[in-house]
Each structure stands twice: as C-alpha cells, then as structure tokens.
C-alpha cells in the first residue's frame, strides 16, 4: 500500500521530501499529516536525531514545503482508488515498514527493533496479539528492550489502513523470516482489528502496555 508520489502536491521542496522522507515513511502517511510550522520543525529535528542527514539548505526547503502544503487547512490530496475486489496484500503493505525494520526483518540497532524472531515472542505473551494491533493503530514512542538490546525509535500510527490491510500486514510479519504463530493461534482477522479501533490510545499508552507483556 502507499499513495506514491502523486500523494504530495506540487511545490518547491517536493522532490526533497520524496527523497528524504520516504526512506522510513510511506509518502501517503506523510501527506495526510496536517501540522503547523513549529510542529513540522520539531518533527524534522526528531527525525535528524534518528539519523536523517540534511544540509541547512535542504532542511529549510523541506520545512517550507511541509509548512506551506501540509499545514492545517491545506487541501488533502485525493486518495488512491484501489480495486474494490483486490484482497489486502501483506507483503506489499510491508513496503511501508522496510525503511525502518528492513527487508530481512532485522531492524536497525539502537533505533528500530527486529521483527524476525521477536514477533512470535509477542504473540505468545498474554495480550500480545491485541498489543500488536494497537501498535499499528496508535503507534509507539519510547525506549523498549528486545532480547537485552535497547531501541528508541518512533513507530508511526497507521489508522488509515483498513481492518483487512492491518490483518494482512500482521499475518505477513508473523510468518516471515522464520516467524510462526504459536501453537493454537490463528491468523489475524479484520474483526480483531476493529475491536481495538475505538480505544483511542496514545503512543505512550501503547508503550506502557508493552511493559505489561513481560517481554525481555
């Protein structure tokens, strides 16, 4: 899934946003954000702390573009029109995650945790299935530990994905890189996703919920 380059309106700085931002973010996700200039400025600073490299000129051009074309009240880009009969494709949806979690599911040391070898541990924990859904719907922010290694990146929320898409994405990462559902567990269903949609959690609450899973 991904709205691609057409999701961003034309304007000075657009190509830089495409070049720099879609390394870790689906451009459709970026284009749906509507933030004031000071918030965009803070977001860029945060991304730089995670390793985004920008010259002063590039930073200024990106900030001016975002503050002009993706400000509150700016017209939203027209959404893509996927074929109504096309089933959700978990492998294609994972393209939104590759920039952070990598094609092999290994993540980025110190920043983005691995999915390979870790998803089965989450699924086996009491409340783990529900928590994985919450991460996709509400995001995650703060330091976590996976198998003794610390990670402190920012996971964006993807509430714009449909229930079927989130289920397909979770089923994909639960069965790749040697991962498998624990014995007795079935694939995720759209109904499971819907059950978590109205909880209105913050990314910090999702972080707190992880701590209750007892993962190490």
**How many Å is the Cα radius of gyration of the chain?**
18
- Report pTM: 0.66
pLDDT in tens, 83-110: 444 677 889 989 888 888 999 999 999 9
Domains of the chain: 5-69 (1.10.760.10), 90-211 (1.10.760.10)
8-20 as b/e, with b when 16 or more CB fall inside 10 Å?
beeeebbebbeeb
Stretch (H or E) spanning 193: helix 190-197
Lowest mean pLDDT, pick from 9-18, 96-105, 176-185: 9-18
CA 25, 197, 32, 187: dihedral to nearest 10 degrees? 40
Question: Average pLDDT of 149-177?
Answer: 92
């Amino acid at each position: 899934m991904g709205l691609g380059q057409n999701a961003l309106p034309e304007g000075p700085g657009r190509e830089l946003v495409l070049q720099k931002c879609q390394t870790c973010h689906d451009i459709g996700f970026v284009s749906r954000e509507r933030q004031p200039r000071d918030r965009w400025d803070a977001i860029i600073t945060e991304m730089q702390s995670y390793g985004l490299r920008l010259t002063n000129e590039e930073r200024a051009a990106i900030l001016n573009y975002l503050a002009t074309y993706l400000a509150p009240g700016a017209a939203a880009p027209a959404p893509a029109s996927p074929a109504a009969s096309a089933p959700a494709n978990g492998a294609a949806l994972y393209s939104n995650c590759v920039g952070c979690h990598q094609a092999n599911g290994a993540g980025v040391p110190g920043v983005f945790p691995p999915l390979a070898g870790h998803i089965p541990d989450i699924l086996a924990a009491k409340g783990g299935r529900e928590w994985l859904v919450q991460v996709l719907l509400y995001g995650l922010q703060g330091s976590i530990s996976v198998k003794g290694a610390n990670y402190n990146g920012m996971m964006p929320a993807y509430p714009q994905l449909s229930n079927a898409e989130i289920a397909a994405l979770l089923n994909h990462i639960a069965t790749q890189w040697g991962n498998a559902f624990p014995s007795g567990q079935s694939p995720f269903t759209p109904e499971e996703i819907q059950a978590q949609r109205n909880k209105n959690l913050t990314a910090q609450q999702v972080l707190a919920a992880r701590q209750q899973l007892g993962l190490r």
